[in-house]
Structure 1
Amino acid sequence: MDILIAGGGIGGLATAIGVARSGHRATVLERHEAFAEFGAGIQLAPNAFRALDHLGVGDAVRDRAVHIDELRFMDGTTGERVASMRLTGGYRERFGNPYVVVHRNDLYEPLLAACRAAPGIVLRADSPVASYEQDDAGVWVVLGTGERVAGAALIGADGIRSAVRRQLVGDGEPHVSGHTIYRSVIPMERVPGQLRWNTVTLWAGPLWHFVHYPIGHGSYLNLAAVRDDGAREVVTGDPAERAHVLGEFPGLGATARQLLELGEDWRRWVLCDRDPVDRWTDGRVALLGDAAHPMLQYAAQGACMALEDAVFLGELLREGGEDEVPRTLETYAEGRRDRTARAQLVSRDMGTLLYHAAGAEAVRRNAMLAALSQEDLYAKVAWLHGAGGDGR
């Protein structure tokens, strides 16, 4: 079958590989003039590697990744270490894979290379999907140029502002969270030696938090600082003055402040997501990744969920023919809806109840987290990081 994929991001490329490995042809329609990934650091839990291994690119991503030793949760005002989850030893034994951090390109480029090497995958840049049409025999994508491209199925992997979702679900603009994130990447050589931790460290404060971790084989430090400022207008990557960023985090403790002050060339985004929806399919059309279940970054699972989607869908397409495409897509949606909806809602809760608590709520949060053993912490994340993430 010819499977059309709207969007050439992480989810779209992973879907193309899954389709090709299932014996079908994939055409990826990317709206930008080139296939490229934008952004900085990204965290990948073991469930992502379960999917990446299935797609044949797991080792390539491992080779580019920083294998993290620990997730640390710090009180951002007092500097107290509240809790930490070790990611070596028992963690890897339990979940079967590492927890890593990478620059987004270090995930994207192995996927892109695999697509370019696959004879059944066609990559078309400068091909923005505007809408779709279908009948019982097939589906047609209408590009922004007016060109029509035919296939047996269309997978909308075109992001949080998906044109496919706009037609299929029609739920308007994304939900604006009211949280602004400031991002910077700095050379590790500028970081004092005693602060070059092989950890993902989160400093939680009242209505703000600050995260940092190494990327680029440890050559850079990724900084991400979030302020619950009630923002209501969408911002995507605008420059932010250093003085403004430093002033947005009052009460930040001395060590965290030292790291924040290293940041340069800051850019800001206002974070958005959507509510979970039941409808992911329309006949021969289905949504995937951020087009289906965009989530805030607080559970670090957005890319992981898209990779799981791609693997699950690819395996289902292996089993059915053209006449069965609508039912196959519905089976895919049924298998993925509950898990991804839970991840969406947990991500929202983490950003408010866990990371941004203040006063007595922060004291209670710290006491709750400090009381958890390593096994308790592993149990908390087992539903996400463990096996079973393919939806079956």
Structure 2
Amino acid sequence: MSNAEKEVLIVGGGIGGVAAALAAAEAGHKTKILEQAPQFGEIGAGIQMGPNAMAVLDRFGVADEISKHAVFPKRLVLKDVYTAKELTALDLGEEFKEKYGFPYIVLHRSDLHRVLVEAAEKNPLISLVNDQIIETVEQNEASVTVTNQRNEKFTGKAVIGADGLWSKTRKYFADDEAICSHYVAYRGTVPIEEISSDASMDDVIMWIGPNLHVVQYPVRKGELYNQVVVFKSNNYKEDSDDWGTPEEMDEVFKGCHPLVENALSFIQRQIRWPMYDREPISNWTKGNFALLGDAAHPMLQYLAQGGCQALEDASCLADMIKVHGENFEKAFQAYQEERMPRTEKVQKSARIWGEIIHAEDPVSILLRNSLLEQTKAKDFEMIDWLYGYKNKVAEKVSN
């Protein structure tokens, strides 16, 4: 089999993995997605897609279909979790869309993932295979080979590790561990008719307080209301599930505003999500093997950029593969050089933003609130680095 006939192998069939397959296919390569689950699907609840992510979804031809399932919020709002005072808001209206080229949307993760998978299934260059726990990756001058849990082997011309926070492919680049922030999240969606009439269906709301926050927004075209409750556990125990319990959540949120108390009453309590990230690493690629998305740069959720950065990765990958053709080593190196400074900044900024919104001492809270209250709804300067990135990528590739 000639190199041109071999496939690009994608380890992981989440948002990043499927986007990577669409990227490789766009560049003309046959691609196989190897997903460990018995069927393709996403767990979780809502996801936020900034215009930087929408640009990629548009590029891959799925933005219109995704929009059918999305809600287009008018504002991002920060509120005090105890007083319900609005601290600041970001206007997501026409000026925002004009500046960044695309809207800000919120939707159910499973809706986003399903649309991406359907696009992959329709693409004649992409095949999808389930029940594949990839244990090893090997490469030589001619090919790469991955081996699954049954010792079955797949051989291709390149491999992209997109297997998430708990990535097995990352071990080839870093001997590191995921870092627990001592925060946990509880998520859930509820029918919209169950929600108080006080809730704004036009806003993404983040209620903030010392070591805790709650995020709320509608999904499924306004049929469901997505809620995420996050708090820092004082009972953290390494290698244990006996911390960050629903009982601790109730205790931590005592005294919060009645609208927040009401939100907690609808939260799913069966699944708790400990919040992890990892330190940035100095290399994601070797030969015809590279990492993408959370496997390369897992980040905390405070900027709502985990999925967005995986999509940016995929778009950049498509550009670099087009430039370098069958030379995946050069394409992956160029992709890493472009993406690494960007994702490291987002990773570190997510941590900092988490510290800001969760500030504990009164002086820090006063200073934060004073600065937030002075920020105008159409002041895009602070977010320009985040949402204006796509144009810079396009410029670098075209030059």
Contact 1:208 1:226 in 2 (8 A): yes
Query: 2:99 pairs with 91, 94, 97, which one?
Result: 94
CA displacement 1:67-112 (0-9 Å, x = unmatched): 0011110111222111011111211111111111100011101100
Deviation at residue 321 of structure 1 after TM alignment = 3.5
1:182 corresponds in structure 2 to 186
CA displacement 1:32-61 (0-9 Å, x = unmatched): 111111110110000111000111111111
Contact 1:74 1:201 in 2 (8 A): yes
1:295 corresponds in structure 2 to 299
2:14 corresponds in structure 1 to 9
1:169 corresponds in structure 2 to 174
CA displacement 1:204-232 (0-9 Å, x = unmatched): 11111111111111111111111112534
- Hey, what's the Cα distance between the residues in 2 that align with 1:363 and 1:374? 20
Is it true that 1:109 corresponds to 2:114 in the alignment?
yes
Deviation at residue 356 of structure 1 after TM alignment = 3.7
TM-score normalised per structure 2? 0.92
2:367 corresponds in structure 1 to 364
- Hey, what's the Cα distance between the residues in 2 that align with 1:195 and 1:37? 27
Q: Which sections of structure 1, spanning at least 5 residues, go unmatched?
A: none
> For structure 1, which segment, 67-76 or 261-270, has the greater mean C-alpha deviation from structure 2 after superposition?
261-270
Is it true that 1:126 corresponds to 2:126 in the alignment?
no
Deviation at residue 246 of structure 1 after TM alignment = 2.5
Supply the AA of the counterpart residue of 2:302. Y
Q: SS in structure 1 opposite 2:90?
A: strand
Is it true that 1:254 corresponds to 2:255 in the alignment?
no
1:379 corresponds in structure 2 to 381
Contact 1:3 1:151 in 2 (8 A): yes
- Hey, what's the Cα distance between the residues in 1 that align with 2:377 and 2:188? 31
CA displacement 1:312-334 (0-9 Å, x = unmatched): 10121122243x22121111100
| Cα gap change, 1:251 to 1:358, in 2 (>3 Å) | farther
CA displacement 1:262-307 (0-9 Å, x = unmatched): 3344531110000111110111100000000000100000000000
Q: SS in structure 2 opposite 1:255?
A: helix
Root-mean-square deviation (Å): 1.9
| Cα gap change, 1:235 to 1:68, in 2 (>3 Å) | farther
- Hey, what's the Cα distance between the residues in 2 that align with 1:9 and 1:302? 12
Deviation at residue 184 of structure 1 after TM alignment = 2.1
- Hey, what's the Cα distance between the residues in 2 that align with 1:203 and 1:10? 27
- Hey, what's the Cα distance between the residues in 2 that align with 1:366 and 1:313? 40
CA displacement 1:336-361 (0-9 Å, x = unmatched): 00000000001111111233444221
Count of residues in correspondence between the two structures = 387
| Cα gap change, 1:263 to 1:186, in 2 (>3 Å) | same
- Hey, what's the Cα distance between the residues in 2 that align with 1:152 and 1:279? 20
Contact 2:231 2:249 in 1 (8 A): no
Contact 1:183 1:266 in 2 (8 A): no
Deviation at residue 181 of structure 1 after TM alignment = 1.0
- Hey, what's the Cα distance between the residues in 2 that align with 1:262 and 1:30? 32
- Hey, what's the Cα distance between the residues in 2 that align with 1:264 and 1:310? 33
| Cα gap change, 1:234 to 1:47, in 2 (>3 Å) | farther
1:267 corresponds in structure 2 to 271
Supply the AA of the counterpart residue of 1:13. V
Q: Which sections of structure 2, spanning at least 5 residues, go unmatched?
A: none
1:350 corresponds in structure 2 to 353
| Cα gap change, 1:113 to 1:389, in 2 (>3 Å) | farther
- Equivalence map 1:228-247=2 (5 Å): 228-230=232-234, 231-233=236-238, 241=246, 244-247=248-251
Deviation at residue 149 of structure 1 after TM alignment = 0.9
Q: Percent identity?
A: 35
Q: SS in structure 2 opposite 1:195?
A: coil
